[in-house]
Amino acid sequence: MNSVDLPNYLKIKNDLPKGVNLLAVSKGFGSKSIESLHSLGQQHFGESKVQEALQKDYLLNNKLNIKLHFIGRIQSNKIRKIVENFDFIHSVDSYSKLLKIAKISDEIGKSPITMIQVKLEDEPQKGGMFTDELIGKWDSIKMIKGLNIKGLMTINPKGLSSQENLNLFRKCKSLAESLELPECSMGMSIDWKEAVDAGSTWVRIGSSIFGKRDV
């Protein structure tokens, strides 16, 4: 599927304050969409499935200065491919996956910028570390050599009011600040404004830029 909502893309770019980065979430969309956004200067693209991202392999081998971000659920057996092919990983949800990322980063001499996904509400189907769990493990996490942890990522539950979204994003931001992490990956098409108000540094926007996905 190929499409780009150009006016919306430009409007979002224009509305984002300095210091907030736009990650264009291109999952479900093909090379043409990606190329046309890239030709407008968009550098950061997000994918949530390893296989799908690697099929768009022109991205990975090309000379375009595209930065690829992994934002999906991480299966342990895909970590090597993720570390090899992505510049950023937003969605690490366990200590053991951090260990594996560090081990592979060391082996191949490349360490992606990493964020830890946190779960601020108890949603069983969703990935992420709970706040208490993250704080409890933080000293051990900091001891892992070769990791490049720069921030936290969160996905808010669906159906929240604007105020509820804002409150959760603020929780994520203050947790990041208490751990002295500079980056916060939060906000999607429906809630990026609240995320920006709460101090997001990476908004992850798909459908508002590319249109509705089939999947």
Ligand X SMILES: *Cc1c(COP(=O)(O)O)cnc(C)c1O
Least separation in angstroms between residue 213's CB and ligand X is: 7
Least separation in angstroms between residue 189's CB and ligand X is: 3
Both tokens assigned to 169 = 């994003």
The secondary structure of the chain in percent helix, strand, coil, rounded to multiples of 5, reads 45, 20, 40
Give the dihedral sign, CA 154/159/164/165. Answer: positive
In terms of CB distance, is 87 or 106 closer to ligand X? 87
In terms of CB distance, is 25 or 50 closer to ligand X? 25
In terms of CB distance, is 3 or 207 closer to ligand X? 207
Least separation in angstroms between residue 155's CB and ligand X is: 5
Q: Which residue is nearest to ligand X (CB)?
A: 206
Residues contributing to the site for ligand X (CB under 6 A): 25, 27, 48, 71, 155, 188-189, 204-208
Give the Cα separation of 52 and 57 in Å (integer).
Answer: 9
In terms of CB distance, is 25 or 149 closer to ligand X? 25
94: DSSP letter: -
Both tokens assigned to 99 = 């260990």
Distances (CA, A) of 182 to 19, 91, 168, 172, 173: 11, 16, 18, 12, 9
- Determine the length of the chain: 215
Give the Cα separation of 33 and 140 in Å (integer).
Answer: 42
In terms of CB distance, is 104 or 128 closer to ligand X? 128
Is residue 114 within 8 A of residue 150, CB to CB? The reply is: yes
Least separation in angstroms between residue 199's CB and ligand X is: 17
Least separation in angstroms between residue 106's CB and ligand X is: 27
